[in-house]
C-alpha cells in the first residue's frame, strides 16, 4: 500500500465549495478506459476541484493520474483492499473530504461498495464496455445497490445496461465521451508530414490508418487483408496501424505477434507500417487522410471522435455504437469482412470530393457533440446534482 503525492498537501488546498472526487481504476492495462480517469482528473483539477486516484502500484494508470495533478493511493493488487488497507483508504478519503467516488471497471465496483458501507459517498460508475451478459444475481444486486449513478457511454451501451444491470432505469444516463478538439482550419498546406518523413515517403503519400488496442476485436488483421486487396490499384497508399505492440501497452501479445507476422509476410510489407504506441496520436491522425476502424462490437468509439476531431475521412463498422457517433458523416463496412472493408476504403480513394466532404462534416459534428469541455461540463452537472441531493457525502 502506498500514497503518492502529485502535489504537496493537496488535501489542505481543497475548495470546500466543490466536492473532492476519487477515481478508481485498478486496471494494469492501457486503453481508452484506463486513460479516461486521468483525463477527467486533469479537467476537474483545472476547474478547481481536488481530485484523487486509487490505482495499482507502478501502473500506467497511476502514472497518468500523477501527471494530471492527482494525489494517488496505490495498492500492489486489488486483493490488498480486502482488509486493513481498506480502512486506511477510507480514513485517507475522509481526511481529504472526498464526497464523490467514480469507478470505471465493473470489477472495481466491489471496492466502491465496501467504501460506501464504511462511509456513504455519491458513487458513479461509467460503463465503458457495453456489458451484454445479465448481472442480476445476488452478488451484483448487492454491489450495484451501492451505485447511485450509472453513466452509459453511448445509446448502444445504454440499451445494454438497461437489460443487463440490476439498476433502476432512472439511475442510468447516457453521457457520450469527449476529446480535445481545436477550432481550426485544415488544409493541405498545414498538414503535418511526420509519418512520411519517418518512413522516407513523399509528402503526397495517401495514408490509411487505424488506431486502437492491438487485439482481434479492433480488426487490424481484417484491415490489413483489405489493404492487400486494393494495394495494387492504389500504389500511392500506405497502411499505418497505431497501437502498442507489447503486453504492457495493452496489446494481446499472441494477436500482436500474429499481426506482425502477417505484415512481414505480406507482398506489400514495405507499405504496411506497425507504428506501435505513440503519444502524438492527434498529430498523426491529422496526417492520415482515411481512418478505418473495423471494430467488431464497439461500446463507444473514442478513436472515432479523435479522428473526427482531426478532419479525417472515416470508415467504420456498421455495428455497435459507431453508427450513432458518425451518423451520415462516415462510410460503413461489415466487421470481419475484408472485402467489405476494402469497398469502404475505395469509396474515398475513388471519390476525393466525398472524402473532403465527410472529413469536414465529421469534424463539425465532433465540435458540436464530442468536445472534452462539453463532456466535462455535463459530468460536473451530474456530480453537483448527486451531491446536492443530500443522500450521500
CATH number of the domain at 386, please. 3.40.50.2000
pLDDT digits (tens, 9 = 90+) for 46-96: 999 999 999 999 999 999 999 999 999 999 999 999 999 999 999 999 999
**Predicted local confidence at residue 10, as pLDDT:** 45
Looking at the structure, do residues 50 and 97 belong to the same domain, yes or no?
Answer: yes
Looking at the structure, do residues 364 and 379 belong to the same domain, yes or no?
Answer: no
Contact 315, 293 (CB under 8 A): yes
Is 50 exceeded by the pLDDT of residue 170?
yes
Looking at the structure, do residues 204 and 123 belong to the same domain, yes or no?
Answer: no
Is 286 inside any structural domain?
yes
Is 284 inside any structural domain?
yes
Looking at the structure, do residues 217 and 230 belong to the same domain, yes or no?
Answer: yes
Is 357 inside any structural domain?
yes
Mean pLDDT, the chain, integer: 94
Q: Which three cell numbers stand for residue 311?
A: 478532419
Is 50 exceeded by the pLDDT of residue 28?
yes
**Predicted local confidence at residue 2, as pLDDT:** 66
Angle between helices 32-46 and 60-67 (to 10 degrees): 20
Is 70 exceeded by the pLDDT of residue 5?
no
Looking at the structure, do residues 144 and 279 belong to the same domain, yes or no?
Answer: no
Looking at the structure, do residues 339 and 377 belong to the same domain, yes or no?
Answer: no
Lowest mean pLDDT among 48-62, 128-142, 208-222: 128-142
Looking at the structure, do residues 226 and 156 belong to the same domain, yes or no?
Answer: no
Is 90 exceeded by the pLDDT of residue 241?
yes
pLDDT digits (tens, 9 = 90+) for 302-354: 999 999 999 999 999 999 999 999 999 999 999 999 999 999 999 999 999 99
Is 226 inside any structural domain?
yes
Select from 359, 352, 358, 326 the least CA-distant residue to 186.
Answer: 359
Is 302 inside any structural domain?
yes
**Predicted local confidence at residue 15, as pLDDT:** 59
Q: What residues have CB less than 8 Å from 131, skipping those under 6 apart?
A: 106, 160, 161, 164, 165
Is 6 inside any structural domain?
no
Looking at the structure, do residues 365 and 377 belong to the same domain, yes or no?
Answer: no
Residue 351 CB neighbour total at 10 angstroms = 14
- The arithmetic mean of pLDDT across residues 167-175, rounded, is 97
The string of DSSP codes covering 49-94 is --EEEEEETT-HHHHHHHHTT-EEEEESSGGGGSSHHHHHHHHHHH
Strand partners, 21: 51, 100
Looking at the structure, do residues 166 and 197 belong to the same domain, yes or no?
Answer: no
- How many domains are there within the chain? 2
Q: What residues have CB less than 8 Å from 318, skipping those under 6 apart?
A: 332, 333, 334, 335
Is 11 inside any structural domain?
no
**Predicted local confidence at residue 7, as pLDDT:** 45
Q: Which domain holds residue 362?
A: 188-369
Is 60 exceeded by the pLDDT of residue 260?
yes
Angle between helices 302-309 and 352-369 (to 10 degrees): 110
Is 60 exceeded by the pLDDT of residue 14?
no
How many residues does this entry show for the chain?
393
pLDDT digits (tens, 9 = 90+) for 273-287: 999 999 999 999 999
CA distance 261 to 255: 10
**Predicted local confidence at residue 30, as pLDDT:** 86
Q: Which three cell numbers stand for residue 233?
A: 490499384
Share of the chain above pLDDT 70, in %: 95
**Predicted local confidence at residue 299, as pLDDT:** 87
**Predicted local confidence at residue 9, as pLDDT:** 46
Degrees, nearest 5: CA angle 93-95-101: 25
> Which value, to the nearest 10 degrees, does the dihedral of the CA atoms of residues 357, 359, 361, 366 take?
180
CA distance 280 to 40: 19
Contact 195, 287 (CB under 8 A): yes
Looking at the structure, do residues 235 and 275 belong to the same domain, yes or no?
Answer: yes
Looking at the structure, do residues 386 and 297 belong to the same domain, yes or no?
Answer: no
Looking at the structure, do residues 339 and 200 belong to the same domain, yes or no?
Answer: yes
Is 349 inside any structural domain?
yes
Amino acid at each position: 500500500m502506498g500514497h503518492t503525492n502529485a502535489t504537496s498537501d493537496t488535501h489542505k488546498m481543497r475548495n470546500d465549495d466543490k466536492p473532492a472526487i476519487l477515481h478508481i481504476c485498478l486496471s494494469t492495462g492501457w486503453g481508452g478506459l484506463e486513460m479516461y480517469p486521468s483525463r477527467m482528473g486533469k479537467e476537474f483539477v483545472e476547474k478547481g476541484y481536488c481530485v484523487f486516484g486509487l490505482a495499482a502500484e507502478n501502473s500506467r494508470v497511476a502514472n497518468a493520474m500523477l501527471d494530471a495533478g492527482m494525489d494517488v493511493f496505490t495498492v500492489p493488487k486489488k486483493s490488498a483492499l480486502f482488509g486493513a488497507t481498506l480502512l486506511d483508504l477510507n480514513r485517507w478519503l475522509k481526511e481529504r473530504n472526498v464526497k464523490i467516488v467514480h469507478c470505471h471497471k465493473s470489477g472495481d465496483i466491489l471496492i466502491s461498495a465496501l467504501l460506501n458501507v464504511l462511509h456513504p459517498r455519491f458513487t458513479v460508475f461509467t460503463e465503458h464496455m457495453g456489458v451484454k451478459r445479465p448481472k442480476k444475481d445476488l452478488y451484483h444486486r448487492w454491489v450495484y445497490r451501492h451505485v447511485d449513478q450509472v453513466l452509459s457511454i453511448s445509446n448502444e451501451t445504454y440499451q445494454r445496461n438497461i437489460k443487463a444491470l440490476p439498476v433502476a432505469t432512472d439511475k442510468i444516463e447516457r453521457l457520450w465521451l469527449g476529446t480535445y478538439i481545436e477550432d481550426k482550419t485544415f488544409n493541405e498546406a498545414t498538414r503535418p508530414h511526420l509519418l512520411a518523413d519517418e518512413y522516407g515517403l513523399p509528402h503526397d503519400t495517401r495514408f490509411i490508418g487505424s488506431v486502437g488496442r492491438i487485439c482481434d476485436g479492433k480488426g487490424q488483421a481484417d484491415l490489413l487483408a483489405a489493404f492487400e486487396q486494393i494495394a495494387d490499384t492504389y500504389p500511392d497508399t500506405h497502411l499505418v496501424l497505431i497501437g502498442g505492440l507489447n503486453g504492457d501497452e495493452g496489446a494481446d501479445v499472441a494477436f500482436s505477434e500474429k499481426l506482425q507476422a502477417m505484415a512481414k509476410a505480406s507482398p506489400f510489407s514495405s507499405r504496411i507500417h506497425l507504428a506501435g504506441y505513440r503519444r502524438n496520436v492527434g498529430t498523426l491522425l491529422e496526417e492520415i487522410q482515411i481512418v478505418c476502424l473495423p471494430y467488431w462490437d464497439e461500446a463507444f468509439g473514442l478513436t472515432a471522435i479523435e479522428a473526427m476531431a482531426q478532419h479525417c475521412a472515416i470508415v467504420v463498422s456498421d455495428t455497435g455504437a459507431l453508427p450513432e457517433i458518425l451518423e451520415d458523416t462516415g462510410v460503413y463496412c461489415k466487421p470481419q469482412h475484408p472485402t467489405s472493408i476494402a469497398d469502404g476504403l475505395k469509396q474515398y480513394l475513388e471519390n476525393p470530393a466525398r472524402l473532403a466532404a465527410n472529413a469536414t462534416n465529421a469534424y463539425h459534428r465532433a465540435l458540436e457533440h464530442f468536445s472534452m469541455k462539453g463532456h466535462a461540463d455535463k459530468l460536473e452537472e451530474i456530480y453537483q446534482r448527486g451531491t446536492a441531493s443530500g443522500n450521500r457525502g
